[in-house]
């Protein structure tokens, strides 16, 4: 169940989108991955730089002909291929187990069974897989060829929305997801993907973990953190 929220949040979300569009432009919609490939890509990408996780993903698909082959490969071999991602010793056996669980439960490694489910049901099923949190689940549904209305909350997005005051300073990723989705009625699947991309860019380039560069932020005049610093 979604929490109650201040209806001003819907206006805040639109203002964030419009301001960040002027700053960063529009996302280039590259070719989308199929849902299982997107699932694997984000599984590898947790707490890992994007170019590093893409490299690990590329090595996996080069070495193995399909995801069944990955599921059946020794965890040590998978770990060797993804060695430069964060926590490869943990992700390798968890990825293998996740792919095997999907195959055992649904007969093959495919997410086709999610097509007829509503977004909440699909997210819930994905999050039941060990190692899968709200970010991987939402990315599988929104970024892939599924093209569903789900918002991806990574560490950069969470930090920006906490500092902005859109959610509480200690809000979880799940609570932030619920708050955004409750306020995002005017956003379609593409709009949610672009909002994620804009906020991630802001978090990486301006509102970083180490320092909030409020003087160069397009949201500074409406941001709770910037207002507090100026007071």
| Top CATH class, 35-142 | mainly alpha
pLDDT at 71: 98
Whole-number pLDDT of residue 139? 97
Q: pLDDT tens-digit profile of 43-82?
A: 999 889 999 999 999 999 999 989 999 999 999 999 999 9
Residue ranges per domain, the chain? 8-27+151-230, 35-142
Q: Has residue 3 got a pLDDT over 60?
A: no
Q: What is the pLDDT of residues 162-182, one digit of tens each?
A: 999 999 999 999 999 999 999
pLDDT of residue 196 exceeding 50: yes
Tokens of 192: 């949610």
pLDDT value at position 88? 97
Say what the pLDDT of residue 102 is: 95
Residue 230: per-residue pLDDT: 63
8-27+151-230 and 35-142 agree in CATH topology: no
Residue 91: pLDDT above 60? yes
Look at domain 8-27+151-230 and name its CATH class.
mainly alpha
Of 4-18, 65-79, 137-151, 212-226, the least confident: 4-18
Would the pTM of this model clear 0.75, i.e. be above it?
A: yes
Alpha carbons 59 and 157: distance in angstroms, whole number: 28
Quick one: which of 99, 111, 186 has its CA closest to 143?
111
Share of the chain above pLDDT 70, in %: 95
Cα separation, 69 vs 34, in Å, equals: 17
In the prediction, which pLDDT does 202 show?
97
Secondary structure of residue 48 in the 3-state scheme: coil
Cβ pair 121, 91 in contact under 8 A? no
- What confidence category does residue 6 fall into, taking pLDDT thresholds of 50, 70 and 90? low
């Amino acid at each position: 169940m979604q929490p109650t929220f201040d209806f001003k949040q819907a206006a805040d979300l639109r203002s964030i989108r419009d301001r960040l569009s002027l700053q960063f432009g529009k996302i280039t919609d590259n070719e989308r991955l199929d849902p299982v490939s997107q699932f694997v890509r984000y599984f590898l990408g947790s707490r890992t730089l994007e170019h590093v996780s893409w490299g690990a993903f590329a090595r996996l698909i080069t070495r193995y002909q399909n995801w069944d082959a990955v599921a059946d490969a020794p965890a040590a071999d998978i770990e060797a291929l993804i060695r430069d991602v964060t926590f490869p010793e943990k992700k390798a056996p968890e990825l293998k187990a996740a792919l095997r669980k999907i195959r055992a439960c649904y007969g093959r490694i495919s997410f086709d069974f999610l097509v007829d489910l509503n977004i909440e049901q699909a997210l819930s099923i994905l999050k039941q897989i060990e190692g899968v949190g709200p970010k991987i689940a939402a990315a599988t549904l929104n970024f892939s060829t599924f093209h569903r209305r789900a918002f991806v909350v990574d560490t950069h997005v969470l930090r920006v929305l906490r500092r902005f005051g859109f959610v509480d300073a200690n809000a979880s990723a799940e609570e932030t997801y619920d708050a955004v989705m409750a306020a995002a009625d005017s956003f379609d699947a593409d709009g949610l993907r672009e909002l994620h991309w804009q906020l991630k860019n802001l978090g990486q380039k301006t509102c970083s973990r180490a320092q909030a560069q409020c003087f160069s932020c397009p949201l500074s005049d409406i941001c709770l953190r910037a207002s507090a610093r100026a007071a």
